[in-house]
Structure 1
Amino acid sequence: MKTLYWFTRDLRMHDNAALLAAARSDMLLCVYVVDPRWFANGPFQCRAMGEHRWRFLWQSLTDLERSLRALGQRLHIAFGESEQALPGLVHQHSVDRVIRSRQPGTIEAQQWQTLQQKLPNTLFQEFETLSLYTEGSLPMPVSELPGTFSQFRKRIEKQGDRGPDLLRIRTLTALPPPPGFPEDNRGECPPIPEPSSALAFTGGETAGLARLQEYCFGNHGIATYKETRNALDDWDSSSKFSPWLANGSLSAREVAATIEDYERQHTRNDSTYWLWFELLWREYFYWYALKHGSRLFRRDGVQRKHRQVTFYGHRFKAWCEGNTQYPIVNAAMNQLRETGYMSNRARQLVASCFVHELELDWRYGAAWFEQQLVDYDVASNYGNWQYLAGVGADPRGLRQFNLDKQAQQYDPDGAFVERWQGRSSQPVGLHTVDAADWPIL
C-alpha cells in the first residue's frame, strides 16, 4: 500500500499513533502543507500566522526533517492550499491512503471533507494524537461532554487515580521508503524572521523533549509549579511546554507520563498534580472544540448568550499596541508583541480588560492572540476567550478581574510594568473618536 502521511499538529516521532499506522505501508510520502492563507489578514484584521509562530513552526519542521532523514525518509513541504496540493501528490504517486491526526477546528474539518470528495477512491484515516485520551477511552460520548471543566475532570478522575493508563506509543525506528525524492516548492514560503527577544523558544521535538526533562528532572520546577505558575515574567516559573504541545512537537501523553515518572522517582505533591490539572484543561478544550464545532467561533458562544458589544477601532488598536489606560495590560501586550508569549495570568488580565473595560467583541481579541502567540492552539485559545467573555464553559459567567488589585498582587514592585514599558506617555482614552485611529494592522 502507498500512503501519504499529512503532518499537521503532530510534528514528532514519539507517541504518534497516526505515523505508526502510516508506517505499515510499502511506500510512504511524508508531507507538510504551508498554506498561504495563514499569512493574509482575516475577517478580524489579523493573520492566522504571525512571525513568532512561523519561526517556531519552521524550526519544528527542520527538526522533524532531520529525524525523518535519519530513517531514510524525507519531508515534502508544499506551499499552497491543501485542497489543491494534496490531490496533486496523490495522483502523481498513485497513493492509496491518506492519514493525518484528528484536528479540532471547522476549517480543518472542511479541508478533510473536501479532500475526500476530490479523491473518492482513496482511503482516508484519522488518529487521535493531540489528546491524552482517545474518543473511545473517554467516560462519556463527545456529544455528552459536560458543560464545565470541573464536571469533566471529576468524570475523568472517577475512572481511577488519573483515568486509564496513558501508555506512550513507541518511537519509530524504521519507516518505509519514500517515492524517490520529489522536489517541493518550500522556497516559495515566506521568509523566516530572526528572533527578536531573549525569550525565544526553539521549535522542534528535540527542544521540546529537552525542555520536558529540564523542567521536571533538571531544575525540578515541577515540584513548585503551583506556587510559581502565576508569575508574570520568569522562564522557569511555569513549564513553558505549551508551544511544543501546540504544534505537536511534544505529546500530551509524554508529558503526563513524565509527570508520573517524576512522582515515582521524587515526590508527589500539589504542584505535580496541578501540572496534570492544567494538562487536563487542555484536554477538555480539545473535546469541547470537537463537540461544538462552529459555535467555538460564534460571538454568542456555545451558551448562545447575546451581549451588546460593538467595534471601537481606537480601543482595539490601543490594546494591541499596549497603549491603554491600564499599565499591567500594556506591559503584557508589549511582552506578547515582542516575544510571542505571555503567562496564563497575564492572558486572563488582558482578556478581561478587552471584554469588560474596553467592551469589545471577544473574537477580535482571540484573533489577535491567534496571530501573535507562539503557542496558539485553536481549541484552547477560543475556548478560553469564550470562558472569559461569559459565553463558554464558565459556570459563573462573565467574570471580571480587578486590574489594580491584580497588579498589586502579581507585580507589587512594578518590575514587570517597568521592564515591558507599560506606562504609556499618551494612553488612548475609552472615548477617543478619530478616524485616524482606525486600525490597519
Structure 2
Amino acid sequence: MQTLYWFTRDLRLHDNAALLAAARSDMLLCVYVVDPRWFATGGLQSKAMGSHRWRFLWQSLMALERSLRPMGQRLHIAFGPPEQVIPELVHAHGIGRVVRSRLPGTEEAAQWQALKAALPGTVFQQFETLSLFTEGALPMPLAELPDTFSQFRKQVEKTGHRYSEQMRIRTLTALPPAPGFPEDNRGECPPIPEPVHPLQFTGGEDAGLNRLREFLFINHGIARYKETRNALDSWDASSKLSPWLANGCLSVREVAESIAEYERRETSNESTYWLWFELLWREYFFWYALKHGANLFRRDGVQRKRRPATFYGHRFKAWCEGNTEYPIVNAAMNQLRETGYISNRARQLVASCFVNELGLDWRYGAAWFQEQLIDYDVGSNYGNWQYLAGVGADPRGLRQFNLEKQANQYDPCGTFIDRWGGHAEQPVGLHTVDAADWPLS
C-alpha cells in the first residue's frame, strides 16, 4: 500500500507512533500543508499565524527535511488548503492510506471529516502522539473529563503513571521509499521575516532535544524550577520547552521520561515534580479542547457564563501595542510583539488586565496570542484564557491580579519594564473615546 503521511504538530522522528504506523507501507509520501488562511486576518482582528511562529515553524520544517533525507525521503511542502492539496496528492500518486496525528481543534476535525468524505476509497488513520496519555489510558472516559484541573490531576496521580509508556517509541531509523519526488510549491509560501531581536529559540527536533538536555542535565535548571519559574525575563528560569512541544519537534513523553531519569540520576524534589505538574496542565487542556470542541471558542466559554459584549477598539489597540496605563503590561506586550514569547507569569498579568481593567472580550486577547506566540497551542491558549476570564476550568471564577503588586513582586527594580519600554509616552486611558468602538454581534 502507498501511504501519505500528513505531518502537522508532530515535526519529529522520535516518539512518533503515527509516523511509525505510516512507515508500514510499500511507499510513503511525507507531506506538510501550509494553509494560506493562516496568514489572513480573521473576525477577531488577528491572524491564525504571525511572523514569529511562521519563522519557527519554517525552521522546524527545514530541520525535519534534513532528518528525512538520509533515509531516502524528503518533505513535500504544499501551500494551499488541505481539503484541496491532500486529494490532489492522493489521486496523483495512487495513495491508499492517509495517516496523521490526532489533533484538538474544531477546524482540524472538520478538515479531517471533509477529506474522508471526499476520498471514500481511502483509509484514514489517526494516532495519539501529542499527549502524555492515550485516550484509552486516561483514568476516566473523555466525556467525563473533570471540570477542574485539580480533579484531573488527582485522578491521574492515583494511577501512579506519568505517561503511556507502551506508546512511546524510539527514533525511526528507516522509512520506505517515496513514490517519486513530486515538485511542491513551497516557493509560494510567505517569506520568512528577519527577527527584530536576536532570538534564542530555533525550530527543529535537534534544537528541542538539546534544550531539554541543557535545562535538565547541564544547567540543572529543573532542580530549582519551582523557585525561578515566575521570572519575567530570564532564559534559564524556566524550561522554555513550550515552542518545541507546541510544534511537535519535541515529544511530551520524551520530556516526562527525561524528568524521571533526572530524578533517578540526580535528585527528586518539589521542583522536579513541578515541571511534570506543568506538563500535566498542558495535558489537561489537550483533552479539554477535544472534549469541549466549539465551546472552547465561545465568548461564554464551557461554563456558559455571560460576559460583557461591548468591544473598545482603542483599548484593544493600546493593549496590543503596549500603550496602556500599566507599565508591567506594556513591557510584556512589547516583548511579545517583538519576540513571539513571554513568560507564563507575564501571560497571566496581561490577560488579567485585558479582561478586568480593560473590560474586553477574552476571545480577542486569545486570538492575538494565537497570532503572536511561537508556542501557540490551541488547548492551552484558549483554555487558559477561559480560565482567567472565569468561563472555563477555574472553580473560583473570574481572576484578577493586582498589577502594581505583581510589578513590585516580580520586577522590583523595574528592570523588565525599562528593558521593554513599559513606560508609554502617551498611554491610552480607559475613558478615551474612539470611533472604532463597536458592539459585538
Could you say which TM-score interval applies, normalised by the shorter chain?
over 0.9
Deviates more, 1:367-376 or 1:157-166: 157-166
User: Which residue number in structure 1 is paired with residue 214 of structure 2?
Assistant: 214
Deviation string 1:361-380 (CA, Å, 9 cap, x unpaired) is 00000000000001000110
In structure 2, what residue type is equivalent to 1:123?
Answer: V
User: Which residue number in structure 2 is paired with residue 384 of structure 1?
Assistant: 384
User: Which residue number in structure 2 is paired with residue 316 of structure 1?
Assistant: 316
Cα distance change, pair 152–436 in 1 and its aligned pair in 2 (3 A): closer
Distance in 1 of aligned mates of 2:166 and 2:372: 32
User: Which residue number in structure 2 is paired with residue 142 of structure 1?
Assistant: 142
Cα offset for 1:309?
Answer: 3.5
In structure 1, what residue type is equivalent to 2:127?
Answer: F
Matches within 5 A, 1:36-51: 36-51=36-51
User: Which residue number in structure 2 is paired with residue 297 of structure 1?
Assistant: 297
1:178 is aligned to 2:178: yes
Cα offset for 1:436?
Answer: 7.0
In structure 2, what residue type is equivalent to 1:396?
Answer: R
Matches within 5 A, 1:268-279: 268-279=268-279
In structure 2, what residue type is equivalent to 1:212?
Answer: L
Deviation string 1:26-56 (CA, Å, 9 cap, x unpaired) is 0000000000000000001100010000000
Cα offset for 1:91?
Answer: 0.3
Distance in 1 of aligned mates of 2:164 and 2:293: 27
Which ranges of structure 2 fall in alignment gaps of 5 or more residues? none
Matches within 5 A, 1:200-349: 200-349=200-349
In structure 2, what residue type is equivalent to 1:58?
Answer: W
Q: Does structure 2 retain, via aligned residues, the 8 Å contact 1:317–1:437?
A: no
Distance in 2 of aligned mates of 1:128 and 1:163: 12
Cα offset for 1:20?
Answer: 0.3
Cα offset for 1:433?
Answer: 1.1
Distance in 2 of aligned mates of 1:165 and 1:178: 30
User: Which residue number in structure 1 is paired with residue 131 of structure 2?
Assistant: 131
Cα offset for 1:165?
Answer: 4.0
1:77 is aligned to 2:48: no
Q: Does structure 1 retain, via aligned residues, the 8 Å contact 2:133–2:163?
A: no
Cα offset for 1:200?
Answer: 3.9
Q: Does structure 1 retain, via aligned residues, the 8 Å contact 2:63–2:205?
A: yes
Q: Does structure 2 retain, via aligned residues, the 8 Å contact 1:166–1:256?
A: no
In structure 1, what residue type is equivalent to 2:25?
Answer: S
User: Which residue number in structure 2 is paired with residue 413 of structure 1?
Assistant: 413
Deviation string 1:151-171 (CA, Å, 9 cap, x unpaired) is 000000000164664763111
In structure 2, what residue type is equivalent to 1:104?
Answer: P
Cα distance change, pair 284–166 in 1 and its aligned pair in 2 (3 A): farther
User: Which residue number in structure 2 is paired with residue 100 of structure 1?
Assistant: 100
Runs of 4+ in 1 over 2 A off after TM superposition: 161-168, 434-438
In structure 2, what residue type is equivalent to 1:53?
Answer: R
Distance in 2 of aligned mates of 1:86 and 1:164: 31
Distance in 2 of aligned mates of 1:168 and 1:30: 21
Deviation string 1:355-399 (CA, Å, 9 cap, x unpaired) is 000000000000000000010001100000000000000010101
In structure 1, what residue type is equivalent to 2:322?
Answer: G
Distance in 1 of aligned mates of 2:170 and 2:220: 26
Distance in 2 of aligned mates of 1:403 and 1:106: 34
User: Which residue number in structure 2 is paired with residue 67 of structure 1?
Assistant: 67
In structure 2, what residue type is equivalent to 1:194?
Answer: E
Tell me the secondary structure at the aligned position of residue 223 of structure 2. helix
Per the normalisation by structure 2, the TM-score is 0.98
User: Which residue number in structure 1 is paired with residue 358 of structure 2?
Assistant: 358
In structure 1, what residue type is equivalent to 2:174?
Answer: A
Cα offset for 1:310?
Answer: 1.1
Per the normalisation by structure 1, the TM-score is 0.98
Q: Does structure 1 retain, via aligned residues, the 8 Å contact 2:263–2:272?
A: yes
Cα distance change, pair 291–75 in 1 and its aligned pair in 2 (3 A): same
Distance in 1 of aligned mates of 2:161 and 2:172: 29
Distance in 1 of aligned mates of 2:391 and 2:56: 32
User: Which residue number in structure 2 is paired with residue 374 of structure 1?
Assistant: 374
User: Which residue number in structure 2 is paired with residue 168 of structure 1?
Assistant: 168
Cα distance change, pair 52–200 in 1 and its aligned pair in 2 (3 A): farther
Distance in 2 of aligned mates of 1:94 and 1:405: 63
User: Which residue number in structure 1 is paired with residue 158 of structure 2?
Assistant: 158
Cα distance change, pair 74–338 in 1 and its aligned pair in 2 (3 A): same
User: Which residue number in structure 2 is paired with residue 26 of structure 1?
Assistant: 26
In structure 2, what residue type is equivalent to 1:153?
Answer: R
Q: Does structure 1 retain, via aligned residues, the 8 Å contact 2:340–2:374?
A: yes
Cα distance change, pair 126–436 in 1 and its aligned pair in 2 (3 A): closer
Deviation string 1:289-327 (CA, Å, 9 cap, x unpaired) is 000000000000000000223100000000000000000
Tell me the secondary structure at the aligned position of residue 175 of structure 2. coil
Alignment size in residue pairs: 438
Distance in 2 of aligned mates of 1:215 and 1:163: 20
Tell me the secondary structure at the aligned position of residue 435 of structure 1. coil
Distance in 1 of aligned mates of 2:177 and 2:243: 30
Q: Does structure 2 retain, via aligned residues, the 8 Å contact 1:15–1:170?
A: yes
Give the CA RMSD over aligned residues. 1.1
Cα distance change, pair 127–333 in 1 and its aligned pair in 2 (3 A): same
1:428 is aligned to 2:428: yes
Distance in 2 of aligned mates of 1:64 and 1:419: 35
Which ranges of structure 1 fall in alignment gaps of 5 or more residues? none
Cα offset for 1:402?
Answer: 0.4
Tell me the secondary structure at the aligned position of residue 193 of structure 1. coil
